[in-house]
Amino acid sequence: MITQQLAGLRNQVAALFADVLKIEVPSHDTNLLATGLLDSLGFVELLLQLERRFGIHVEMESLEPEDFRSIERIAAFIEAGPGSQLPRSPSET
C-alpha cells in the first residue's frame, strides 16, 4: 500500500527528473540504472538535488545503488531517511 506521503514524494522525484535533470522516465518503477537513463554524472547531480530539495545527505560509504534504481525506490529511501535499510525485492538480491 502506498501512503499519501510516499505518493507525494514519488511525484516530487519524478518532477525533479523531468524539470531539473531533464530525464524523461517512462514510469515510477523503470530501472534507471539498467536502462542507462541515470549515468554516473546524472547520479551525482541526483544526490546533490536530493540534498537541496529534501535536506538528506547520503554518505558515500553507506550508499546502496539499489536505493536509487527507480523513482519508486528513491521516494521510499527519502521517506525512510538515509541510513535506513529498505527491503530488497527478489530481483535485487
User: Is residue 57's pLDDT more than 50?
Assistant: yes
Residue 34 within a domain: yes
pTM: 0.82
Find the domain containing 59 and state its range: 4-87
Reported as half-sphere exposure (CB side, CA atoms, 13 A), residue 13 has a value of 28
Q: Does the pLDDT at position 1 exceed 80?
A: no
Residue 84 burial (10 A CB sphere; 0-12, 13-18, 19+): exposed
Name the domain count of the chain.
1
Q: Is residue 93 part of a domain?
A: no
The answer to whether residue 38 sits within a structural domain is yes
Report if residue 59 sits inside a domain. Answer: yes
Of 1, 41, 51, give the one whose Cα is nearest residue 21. Answer: 41
Domain with residue 46: its CATH number is 1.10.1200.10
Tell me the C-alpha distance between 71 and 78, whole Å.
Answer: 11
